[in-house]
Amino acid sequence: SQRLLDVTIRAFKDSGRIFGVTYDMTRIAQLEKLQNDFVGNVSHELKTPITSLIGFTETLLDGAKDDPQTLESFLKIMQKDAYRLQSLVQEIIQTSKNTDVNYVTTSVNVADLANKIVDDYAAVIQEKHLNVIITGPEELVFNTKIELFKPICKNLIENAIHYASSEGKIDITFYQENDHLIFSVQDDGIGIKQQEQERIFERFYRVDKARSRNSGGNGLGLAIVKDYSEILGGKVQIDSYPGVGSTFTVTLPSL
């Protein structure tokens, strides 16, 4: 059992999180299960694009490269796999950062940040004919850790764009109340059933695995939103109805 304890503590240190040392074996066993699930999920997620990359490389080397059209279409698939691996690795690093000590507090103009994030998705927004509206005081400056605040906003906006119906409307709203920032993202997309609403914040949990995979998701986005909101001393709330849409609201204290 000492070995189990050592392994568990080492595993959590490796993942960048230092947990209080506990000798409660039930808790240790639970942590080990969480860690095993996480490793299992990560390996599973990594395997798919890697298997695809190997398969396409081998086929190209076996002669398929001599046909320019095949070459081009295979390279495009391989590029997609590589991007998928890149974003997965980035998000895994994000979910295991020792986040509370490293970052300094700065003043963030929320309207500018929201506009910048939306601009990054201009191509998808245009393709899906979405109407994205940002509402909030242009001059609002919020004191926070940008390295944590930006991924929160980015993941919520990205989800709204992914899960919105075509020609849908997305409302990004923010305002300050006392010492808190209220930042919410509303879409009129597919919505989420009541019984799924708690689970979607778990790492790697996806309501519809096939559809999420097609849209490039990996089930880490909302886990990052929840973790980072809590590290910043805030919380995230969901209000969602299937077929009507979802609203995610983050409430964060000014630092």
The residues that touch ligand ADP, with contacts defined as CB under 6 A, are 155, 159-160, 163, 187, 189-192, 200, 205-208, 212, 217-223, 246
**Strands, E, within the chain: which ranges?**
106-109, 131-135, 141-144, 169-177, 180-187, 235-241, 245-253
- By beta-carbon proximity to ligand ADP, the closer residue of 49 and 74 is 49
Q: How far is the CB of 133 from ligand ADP (least distance, A)?
A: 16
**Min dist. Cβ of residue 199 to ligand ADP (A):** 8
> Based on CB atoms, which residue is closest to ligand ADP, 117 or 190?
190
8 vs 246, beta carbon nearer ligand ADP:
246
Q: Nearest approach, Cβ of 27 to ligand ADP (angstroms)?
A: 26
Query: Between the CA of residue 23 and those of 1, 2, 16, what are the distances in Å?
Result: 10, 9, 20
Print the SS3 string covering 103-146.
Answer: CCCEEEEHHHHHHHHHHHCHHHHHHCCCEEEEECCCCCEEEECH
Exposure of 176 by Cβ count < 10 A (0-12 exposed, 13-18 middle, 19+ buried)? middle
- The angle at the Cα of 172, spanning 168 to 178, to the nearest 5 degrees, equals 155
Per the structure block, which two tokens stand in for 235? Answer: 């919380």
- Closer residue to ligand ADP, CB minimum distance, 28 or 161: 161
How far apart CA 131 and CA 120 sit, in angstroms, is: 15
CB of 3 to ligand ADP, least distance (A): 34
122: burial class by Cβ within 10 Å (0-12, 13-18, 19+)? Answer: exposed
Backbone φ/ψ region at 167: left (φ over 0), alpha (ψ -120 to 50), beta: left
CB of 45 to ligand ADP, least distance (A): 10
Q: Which is nearer to ligand ADP, 181 or 227 (CB)?
A: 227
* Beta carbon nearer to ligand ADP, 8 or 212: 212
Q: From the CB of 193, what's the least distance to ligand ADP, in Å?
A: 10
